[in-house]
Amino acid sequence: MNTMNEEMKKKKQTVQSLDRAFDILEALADEKDGLTLTELSKKIKLNTSTVYRMLQALNNRNYIDKDENSNSYSLGLGFVELASLRLKSLELKIESQSNLSWLHETLGQVVFLGVINGFDVDYIDMKGDVKLKNMCSVGFSLPLHCTGLGKALLMGFNETELRSYYKDYTFYKLTPYSISTMNALVKANNQNRERGYSIDKMENKLNTFCVAAPIYDYRSKVIAAISSSWKGEPHRIEEVSLSVLQAANNISRRMGFVKR
């Protein structure tokens, strides 16, 4: 009983802390010139020590800024960055729609759109038949190193960057064919970068193959990837790659990419 009470108390404290953080942010949003610690404490009716601790945490995450001359606090660029990422994701999905549909209709296979999230690929859009959707679905996340979509996203890294990114990572296998070492990932990435697309030969699911290609933006940065998956018939890889590359290139151009 005591353990349950303690857990309920902790959850209540967490919710209370979130409420207070939002109170601080909303109060600062109303003030163009910012507020000092004392002014902010009075406005949201909290003691200064509590407000100060929360301001420190928010400042560490770049959600607020402090003017050292006036000792006033205002909203930081963290919110701008979050909004920018959200808008970019929406723009990407809008610009990708026609090409996702074209790729699905051309190949008669399920197609996916994904973005990088740490060491995973987040599936944010797809087109395909119900029978094929058991491969994956929108909202799924899978490891970058053993999915075609994920390996296409890693094509934005050179060898040095890739080794640094995976420095403390422990590889695990989804199938007996999954990449399981740093050297194997580097070798695959070098091959993928050279040919312009990635291949998944039963690394995610047995008897399932995938071809994926990266999508670039106006900065020539990889911001997403598009893929097509199918059951059996590994001999179709080269044929599928031509269509996947065409769709990826079309979306990249719509995102402002100019090949040099």
The model's pLDDT over 81-129, given as tens digits with 9 standing for 90+, comes to 665 555 455 578 888 889 999 999 999 999 999 999 999 999 989 998 6
Q: Is residue 187 part of a domain?
A: yes
- Say how far apart CA 49 and CA 44 lie, in whole Å: 13
pLDDT band at residue 152 using 50, 70 and 90 as cut-offs: very high
The sign of the dihedral angle between the CA atoms of 189, 191, 197, 203 is negative
Stretch 156-180: mean pLDDT, rounded?
A: 94
Question: According to the model, what pLDDT value does residue 144 have?
Answer: 95
Q: Is the pTM of this model over 0.75?
A: no
Are 72 and 196 members of one domain? no
Are 109 and 139 members of one domain? yes
Are 66 and 167 members of one domain? no
| Residue-averaged pLDDT of the chain | 85
In single-letter form, the type of residue at position 49 comes to S
Are 145 and 69 members of one domain? no
Are 196 and 129 members of one domain? yes
Among residues 214, 225, 215, 247, the alpha carbon closest in space to that of 106 is found at 247
Whole-Å CA distances, 230 to 110, 133, 207, 234 = 7, 10, 9, 9
| Least confident among 65-74, 136-145, 212-221 | 136-145
Domain boundary among the residues 26, 56, 76 is at 76
Domain boundary among the residues 24, 50, 76 is at 76
- Say how far apart CA 185 and CA 146 lie, in whole Å: 9
CA angle 65, 35, 84 (to 5 degrees): 40
Q: Are 149 and 121 in contact (CB under 8 A)?
A: yes
Are 173 and 230 members of one domain? yes
Q: Is residue 203 part of a domain?
A: yes
Question: According to the model, what pLDDT value does residue 131 have?
Answer: 54
Is the predicted pLDDT of residue 130 greater than 50, yes or no?
no
Question: According to the model, what pLDDT value does residue 156 have?
Answer: 95
Domain boundary among the residues 48, 76, 104 is at 76
Are 131 and 164 members of one domain? yes
Are 146 and 184 members of one domain? yes
Are 36 and 99 members of one domain? no
Percent over 70 (pLDDT), the chain: 85
pLDDT band at residue 14 using 50, 70 and 90 as cut-offs: low
Q: Is residue 65 part of a domain?
A: yes
Question: According to the model, what pLDDT value does residue 222 have?
Answer: 94
Q: Is residue 49 part of a domain?
A: yes
Is the predicted pLDDT of residue 11 greater than 80, yes or no?
no
Q: Is residue 260 part of a domain?
A: no
Q: Is residue 259 part of a domain?
A: no
Beta partners for 43? none
Whole-Å CA distances, 195 to 30, 51, 89 = 52, 54, 27
Stretch 168-194: mean pLDDT, rounded?
A: 94
Question: According to the model, what pLDDT value does residue 23 have?
Answer: 86
Q: Is residue 196 part of a domain?
A: yes
Provide the number of structural domains found in the chain: 2
Question: According to the model, what pLDDT value does residue 138 have?
Answer: 73
Domain of residue 226: give its range. 84-254
Classify 7 as helix, strand or coil. Answer: helix
Question: According to the model, what pLDDT value does residue 238 have?
Answer: 92
Are 181 and 250 members of one domain? yes
Classify 186 as helix, strand or coil. Answer: helix
Phi then psi for residue 84, to 5 deg, are: -65, -45
Q: Is residue 159 part of a domain?
A: yes
Domain CATH code at residue 19: 1.10.10.10
Are 12 and 135 members of one domain? no
